[in-house]
Structure 1
Amino acid sequence: MKKIILVTGATSGFGKAIATSFCKAGWNCIITGRREDILVQLAGDLQVTYGVDVIPLVFDVRDRHAVNTAISQLPEEWQAIDVLVNNAGLALGRDSFEVANLDDWDTMIDTNLKGLLYVSKAVLPYLVERKKGHIINIGSTAAKEVYKDGNTYCATKHAVDAISKAMRIDLLQHKIKVTAIHPGAAETEFSIVRFKGDEEKARQVYEGYQALQAQDIADIALYVANLPEHVCINDLVVTCLAQANSMYVQK
């Protein structure tokens, strides 16, 4: 019987790479995202390319009702979720605290923090019932250090770090693994979103060094998900060779 993974934010970046890598490895996949056309196309491509089953669920993780409705209505055969990857997240703006945009703050808190909580709570009954499963939370090196103009983004990722630790403690009794993967600079759509479509400014972030790629994080997620049942990697900080942490990059 094929294993099942659920990946949030699967339309691009880490999420798309993770879904693709697991499908390539023979897993059936539930992919979620807001962009229906891209999500449905991806589901079809993955099924044809890898001969697995893929369900696209179109919702915004910020919408608690939509999250609960979509996940609670999964067909019974799809409820046996083995791995949940909480990937949906974003950074908006990079502004000093006193001039930062409150709407940006709300979006980051609602997506990076509350969205992760909503999806986890919706999926957990299936894992608890089976007394097995694995939650992989995608954090950031911003969870480990606060950097200038990172303020609320760093705060949300610090929260992801704390929630991951809390999950690991509270879900121990249910034999559920929890892993936090904290990537450093990665060349995806992330910076384009952060700079609100300014591709030139986004490109400059990665000039002068080789950043992580989405596939690097997908490979790591697949590795930790395939460890023996008694082994759990709790916390991973991953950077490219040129980066030491959130603040220090050799260009």
Structure 2
Amino acid sequence: MVKTAVVTGASSGIGAAVTARLAKQGYRVLAVARRADRLAELAGRTGAEPHVLDVTDAGAVDRFAAAVARCDVLVNNAGGAFDAAALQDADPQVWRHSFEVNVLGTLHVTRALLPALLAAPGATVVTMNSTAGFTPYEGGGSYTAAKHAAHALTGTLRLELAGRPVRVVEIAPGMVRTEEFALNRFAGDADRAAAVYADVDRPLTAEDVAECVAFTVGLPIHVNVDQLVVRPLAQAAQHKLHRGPLFQEEAPR
């Protein structure tokens, strides 16, 4: 029987790459996101089934989940950073939005699909978190606080499912260069977004992170990767980033 995967935040970046990777692996992928046009393009390219859904709308999530007959893999990928303000300049509305997307959205989808996951013969929940989920940094308050909460949510779920055949995996990428993440954080300021990655030799790509998802999901069902931290070689830690060449041009990628 073909296994089914649900991927949220699938319309771009890591979510789109995960959708493509799992579809290539043979999964029937339900690609969930808000933007119908992007989902349609993704569906045409990967064969995924598009589902227009806002994960912050609990009622809509429940209706979606009620129509999902089988769920072997859930990838909670919907999220993002929405400002770079210091705490003294913080907008509580931005913080509220960050928690609604990164935390409550993950809660809504996980809770709604848990019966289907428990019914599957060896299911996996993957939460796409961030190194911001355990290391705060200046200007990242709304994002790091939400990702700390998402880390706690994931750990709690793993404890509560102990003794049940469902794996709970947290993937925490460091610097990943996608087309929208930094742009959203800096309100569309392309120069500020580009400066984040300036002179960094090969930040992670969305496809790199998708390979990590495929790896954790593809392990024998008794093997659970509690947390997978993945960074580019140029980033030794949250505050330790090398800018400048690392590799010869002919070095293997």
TM range (shorter): over 0.9
Note if contact 2:134-2:148 (Cα within 8 Å) is conserved in structure 1. Answer: yes
Shift of 1:152: 2.0
Q: Which runs of no fewer than 5 residues in structure 2 stay unpaired?
A: 244-253
Rounded Cα–Cα distance in structure 2 between residues aligned with 1:66 and 1:179: 25
Aligned-residue RMSD, C-alpha = 1.1
Shift of 1:230: 1.0
Shift of 1:131: 5.4
Q: Which runs of no fewer than 5 residues in structure 1 stay unpaired?
A: 48-53
Kindly provide the amino acid, as one letter, of the partner of residue 206 in structure 1: Y
Q: 1:12 aligns to what? A: 12
TM-score, length-normalised on structure 1? Answer: 0.93
Structure 2 residue 209 is the aligned partner of structure 1 residue 217:
yes
Aligned residue pairs total 241
Note if contact 1:6-1:83 (Cα within 8 Å) is conserved in structure 2. Answer: yes
Shift of 1:44: 2.4
* SS of residue matched to 2:101: helix
* SS of residue matched to 2:241: coil
Rounded Cα–Cα distance in structure 2 between residues aligned with 1:64 and 1:165: 22
* SS of residue matched to 1:174: coil
Note if contact 2:83-2:142 (Cα within 8 Å) is conserved in structure 1. Answer: no
Rounded Cα–Cα distance in structure 2 between residues aligned with 1:131 and 1:170: 18
Whose helix proportion is higher, 1 or 2?
Answer: 1
Shift of 1:41: 2.3
Question: Equivalences for 1:100-119 in 2 at 5 Å?
Answer: 100-119=90-109
- Sequence identity percentage: 36
Structure 2 residue 66 is the aligned partner of structure 1 residue 72:
yes
Shift of 1:18: 0.3
* SS of residue matched to 1:244: strand
Rounded Cα–Cα distance in structure 2 between residues aligned with 1:112 and 1:95: 18
Rounded Cα–Cα distance in structure 2 between residues aligned with 1:234 and 1:36: 33
Question: Equivalences for 1:1-251 in 2 at 5 Å?
Answer: 1-47=1-47, 54-74=48-68, 79-130=69-120, 132-188=122-178, 189-209=180-200, 210-251=202-243
Q: Describe the superposition over 1:27-50 as per-residue Cα deviations: whole angstroms up to 9, x where unpaired.
A: 110000000111122112212xxx
After TM superposition, which residue ranges in structure 1, 4 or more long, deviate above 4 angstroms? none
